[in-house]
Amino acid sequence: MSDRLLIDAGNTRVKWALLSEQSTWLAQGAAVYAALAELPRAAAPDRRVFVASVASAEQETRLLEALGGTREAVQWLTSVPAAGGVVNGYDAPARLGVDRWLGLVAARQRTAGATLVVSAGTALVVDALDADGRFLGGTIQPGLALGRRALEQGLAHLPATRGRVVEFPCNTADAVESGTVRALCASIEQGHARLCAHAAGPVQCLLTGGDAPALMPFLSLPCEHVPALVLEGMDVLTSGNLTP
């Protein structure tokens, strides 16, 4: 056994964690693809490198250059039909985004009950996990930045300045920001309501992703913020320390 470098390669950012042989988190960080200088290189003796990627081919090339290795030098994680106490209910299990899969695995290690797993990043993903550990399905929609960009591209004369979320917006900037944030919060709350109706007991909500702090103040339900949820799932599946 040796230390492990875990890398969550997203659409916009790379998150990473360096773990000891005993699964102690030694260091972690995040960076955009244009600034990966702080990412530990893969060439350390006996280091194993695991990557979970939903990135483009160009972004993966940048990542490998920063690691100083080749594609064959790292282990690429993929979604599977079952692992870590989770049954993958996707129509084609291998086609479930690996970041979603790892978030579900991490969620199962945190709670034995029904759980709503929300990733607020480039896209907003709202996934439902029942008390038996079965992934029921989930929704995907544009995140904050993509939602704003869609309005900018589709509508003329939108202000360049960012607005605020207010109760009754009286200017266009605030109207755009309030509408975008409230739409995302409504998706989370509706997903929670659907899972509550399905579940026999209480439903926990875990929230991860770069936009999680921007959404949490406006949600009407309690959510636990877990910034490194995908990395936690990677730790579970690469350490062998799985709970039933």
- Of 127, 91, 125, 130, nearest in space to 211 by CA: 125
Find the catalytic residue in 99, 127, 174, 235: 99
- Of 164, 162, 118, 168, nearest in space to 143 by CA: 118
Q: What are phi and psi of 26, to 5 degrees?
A: -85, -35
Q: What are phi and psi of 59, to 5 degrees?
A: -65, -40
d(CA 239, CA 14): 21
Query: Please, what is the Cα angle at 41 between 40 and 42, to 5 degrees?
Result: 120
Asked if 181 and 164 count as a contact pair (C-beta separation under 8 A), the reply is no
- 46 as an active site residue: the answer is no
**Which are the catalytic amino acids?**
99
